Amino acid sequence: MGSILWSKRHQRYTPVRKSRPKTFKTEQAAKLWADKKGIKSYRLVNLKSPESSTKKIRVVAVKQ
């Protein structure tokens, strides 16, 4: 049996997390996004393992 007094006092805790980096399925989409954002020097990093048949690519800006 629930009580409205208990549920209003004890709110659920939802932690605040950082936003995740933008990822892409193809290298072409990643390059197009980087060009659109004006990123001149970057490298593409595959977040999946090399044995995986699918890709998850992240654009990493390279500092010069």
pTM over the 0.75 mark: no
User: Domain count of the chain?
Assistant: 1
For residue 23, the tally of other CB atoms under 10 A from its CB is 16
In a domain, 34, yes or no: yes
Residue 63 lies in a domain: yes
The pLDDT tens digits for 20-54 are 889 999 999 999 999 999 999 999 999 999 899 99
| Cross-sheet strand order for the sheet of 23-24 | 23-24, 57-61, 42-46
Whether 8 maps to a domain, the answer reads no
